[in-house]
Structure 1
Amino acid sequence: MTQHSSRTAPPEHRGLRGFVRDNGLGLFFTVTFLLALAGQAIAGHADFNNQLVTDQLRPISLAEYLTSSDFAVDVAENWQSEYLQFFLFIGVTVWLVQRGSPESKELHKGGTESDKQQLVGEYAKEGAPEWARVGGWRRAVYSHSLLLVMGAIFLLSWLVQSITGVAAYNEQQLRQLQAPISWSQYLGAADFWNRTLQNWQSELLAVASMAVLSIYLRQRGSPESKPVGSAHGATGVEG
C-alpha cells in the first residue's frame, strides 16, 4: 500500500482557515472589542443627545459625537484602567505568590529567576528572540518589555483621559453658565478622580476574584484554570 504523509502543512500553506485557527483568541477579542465600541458609540450618542434636549440645545450627529471630548473621555477612562490592571498584575506576580492559584508562580519561584530558568544568554534555545541571546541594555529592556509597554499605554491613556475629560467638563460648565477650569485644576477635581477610581476598583476586584476563585473552582480545558482533578493547594499549575 502507498503510504501518505500525515505531516502538517507549513504555516504559509494553511490558508485562511489555518490563520483563523492559529489566531482565534486574538481575532475573537478584536472583533468583540470593535462591536462593543460601536455599541458604546451608538448608546452614548443617544444618551448625550437626550442630555442636550433636556438642556434645550440642538442634538448632534453621530459623526460629531465620535469626534467629541465626551466620547473620547469615556473610551480613555476605560482603557487606562484595563492597562493599569495588566501592568500591576504583570509586575506584582514577579514577586508575590498566591497559594493554590494558577495565576501565581509556584511558591518557591518568586523573583526574576536565573538566566538558566529564563533561557537567556548562553541558555537561549533555537528560535529565541535575538535580544534574549545578547547581553547589556538590549536584554535588560527586552526582559521587561511587556511591563514597560503596558505601563506606557496606561500612562498615555490616562493622560488622554485627563485632557479630554477637562474639555468635556468645561463644555458642561459652559452649558450651565459656569466658569471653565484649567487642566491642572481638573487633575484635582472630583470629576477626574470619580471617573478614574470607579474604573480602578472594578479592575482590581476582578483580578483579585480571578486569583482567589481559581484556587477552588475549575474550567475544564482552560489555561486559566488548574486541571479539574488538581488539589486546591496546587500552585502555578495550569490545565
Structure 2
Amino acid sequence: MTVWSRIRDHALSLFFLALFAAALIGQSIAGYLRNNDELVEHGQATIGFLDFVWSSDFAVDVAENWQSEFLQFFLFIAATIWFVQRGSPESKKPRDEGPGSDADQLVGRHARPDSPRWARAGGWRAAVFGNSLLIVMGAVFLLSWLAQSLAGTVVMNAENAQHGAAAITWLDYVVSPDFWDRTLQNWQSEFLAVGTMVAFAIYLRQRGSAESKPVGTPHHTSASESD
C-alpha cells in the first residue's frame, strides 16, 4: 500500500486532525495576545508565549470545550442505543431499540474469523469491548471536566488575589456560578447542535455524505430501512 493510499483511506480523520491543530494553535495565539493586552491594561508585565500555553488561563479554556464535546458524543452514543427518531439517518429504525443480540453484534460464537479478538472471546472481554466507545468517551469527558475545574480554581484564585479576596477551594469553585456559567454555556450549544442534526436530517439531504440519507429516500424512512 502506498503512502497516498494510506492517506486516502484515513483522509477523514486526518482532515479533522489538521483542523483541530490549526484551531488550537490559532486559539493559543489569540489567547496569548488577549492575555498580554489585559496585563498591560492592569499595569503588569507581559508573559512569554510558552508561559501562556502552560498557564491555567489557557488550560481552562481548552478543557471546558473538550469536556462539552466529549459529553455530547457520550450522551449521543448512549441515547441512540435506546431512543429512536423515525426518518433520521442518525437513528436506528423504530423497534430496533436496545443493545442487540449476540448474533446481530457478531459476538462470541457468532463472531466472524476476522472479528476483533475480544469480540470473538465472548464473556467479560466482549462486554468491555462492546461498550468501549462509551467508556472512552465518558473517561475523556470526566478527565477534561476535572482539568477544567482544577485550572478554573487556579484562575479564580489569581483573580481573587488581585482584588484582595480570600482564596477558595476546589469544591467551592465547582459549586460556584463561574464554573457552571462556563460549563452550561458549552453544554447547551452542543445539545442544540446534536438535536438539530437529528431533526434536520429527516427532511434535508446532502448528496454523498454518510450523515445523510440518499437524496430520494422518503422523509419518514431512515437510512437503515432504505438499504
TM-score interval, normalised by the smaller of the two chains: over 0.9
Matches of residues 82-121 of structure 1 in structure 2 within 5 Å? 82-121=69-108
135, 138, 145: which is aligned to 1:158? 145
Alpha-carbon distance in structure 2 between the residues aligned to 1:92 and 1:159: 24
- Structure 1 residue runs of 4+, over 2 Å off? 236-239
How many residues are matched? 226
Deviation at 1:112, TM superposition (A): 0.7
- Structure 2 gaps, min length 5: none
Cα deviation 1:163-195 (Å, max 9, x = unaligned): 001001111111222222111100111111011
1:129 equivalent in structure 2: 116
TM-score of the aligned structures, taking structure 1 as reference length = 0.92
Distance 1:119 1:135 in 2: 10
Q: Which has the larger radius of gyration?
A: 1
Segments of structure 1 that go 5 or more residues without pairing to the other structure are 1-13
Q: Which residue of 2 aligns with 1:33?
A: 20
**SS state at 1:100 partner:** coil
Residue of 126, 141, 146 corresponding to 1:139: 126
User: Residues of 1 paired with 2:217 and 2:21: CA distance?
Assistant: 37
CA deviations over 1:115-142 (Å, ceiling 9, x no partner): 1111111111121011111222111111
| Larger CA deviation: 223-232 vs 165-174 | 165-174
RMSD across aligned C-alpha pairs, in angstroms? 1.2
Letter in 2 for 1:43: A
How far 1:60 moved relative to its partner?
0.9
- Normalised to the residue count of structure 2, the TM-score between the two structures is 0.97
State the AA in 2 paired with 1:167. Answer: V
Question: What residue is the counterpart of 1:8 in the other structure?
Answer: none
Shift of 1:51: 1.4
Task: Report if the CA contact (8 A) 1:107-1:235 is conserved.
Answer: no
1:221 corresponding residue in structure 2:
208
Aligned mate of 1:194, from 169, 181, 185: 181
CA distance in 2, matches of 1:15, 1:235: 37
**Which residue of the other structure, out of 231, 236, 239, is the alignment partner of 2:218?**
231
Q: What is the CA deviation profile of residues 45-102 of structure 1, one whole-angstrom value per residue up to 9, with x for unaligned ones?
A: 1111111112111111111100100000000000000000000000010000001100
In the alignment, which residue of structure 2 is the partner of 1:7?
none
Partner SS, residue 82 of structure 2:
coil
Q: What corresponds to 1:56 in structure 2? A: 43
Number of the residue aligned with 1:67: 54
Q: Give the alignment of 1:42-53 within 5 angstroms.
A: 42-53=29-40
Structure 1 contact 131–138 (Cα < 8 Å) conserved: yes
- Residue identity (%): 54
